[in-house]
Amino acid sequence: MAQCRPIAVIKGAGDLATGVAYRLFKCGLDVIMTEISRPLAVRRKVAFSEAVYDGEATVEGVKACLAGTVDQVFKLLEDRSIPVLVDPEAAIIKMICPDVVVDARMAKRNLGTAKDEAPLVIGLGPGFTAGVDVHAVVETCRGHSLGRVIYSGSAIPDTGRPGNVGGYTVERLLRAPAEGIIRTVKSIGDIVEKGETVAFVNDAPVVAAIPGVLRGLIRDGIEVKKGMKIGDIDPRKDSKCDAISDKALAIGGGVLEAVFGYFCADGKKWRLQCRQQGK
């Protein structure tokens, strides 16, 4: 008889969502992730969304695989892999009734997540209000409050500026200079110098504003919009591009606190009903 574990559905499979998935998976939950048909992750080496393109993606020893049906989802869970579904509306939630739903799409606004989707619904960052549209919010802004769980109210509003890393903020980001198709000339993990061309959008060069390690770069051939974030330079020379970031792990720790804090309090229990494949 298959072991029955609590199930968490995570909306989104980018690098921060992957940090959450990794934490929950390591603590014994079954994790399912949903994505759009052409994911736009920048930190691709630590994003389970890459499974949409390549069929599977492994991050720090945890494997995620693309699933096309509910039957495949349950088979992958049985094999202790993380299923990734192309399911922008997260329809899988109504099919399987998970114990936990986490909105990790980082849209800076609520795209439709509601408290009635699961016994515990968690939103990451701005756009959610704990006690209104979700049960808990996890702070995603770098600083003293990063990873803290909010049970009443909202996260720090979006400032439009990335967090300070090595003395740099907006300079760290690479943005599309025009609308078009990206053609990369550098790879994640490369050392780049200030003024060096990292990619082209059509014929417009994407130029590094600071020296450092190219920690993230959107997938070659993707259609991008002007001003869209397409890359990330880490000024720290010892940056590890294939390791989940401190920020993602901190946020994952906050989600873990909310999950176990809720289900271990006041005699609450996981649903733990045995879910048959295909149901």
Range(s) within the chain of domains with CATH label 2.40.50.100? 170-234
Confidence of residue 166 (pLDDT cuts 50, 70, 90): confident
Q: 277 falls in which pLDDT band (50, 70, 90)?
A: very low
DSSP state of 168: B
Give helix 15-26 / helix 246-263 axis angle, nearest 10°.
Answer: 50
Q: What is the pLDDT of residue 275?
A: 52
pLDDT higher than threshold 60 for residue 183: yes
DSSP readout, 117-148?
GSSEEEEESTT-EETTTBSEEE--SSSTTTT-
* Stretch(es) of the chain classified as CATH 3.40.50: 7-156+246-263
Q: Which amino acid makes up residue 118? A: A
pLDDT reported for residue 134:
98
Q: Which CATH class is domain 7-156+246-263?
A: alpha beta
Mean predicted confidence (pLDDT) in 118-137: 97
CATH of 170-234, one of 3.20.20.140, 2.40.50.100, 3.30.390.30, 3.40.1260.10: 2.40.50.100
pLDDT level of residue 272 (50, 70, 90 thresholds): low
Mean pLDDT over the full length of the chain: 93
Residue type, position 27, single letter: C
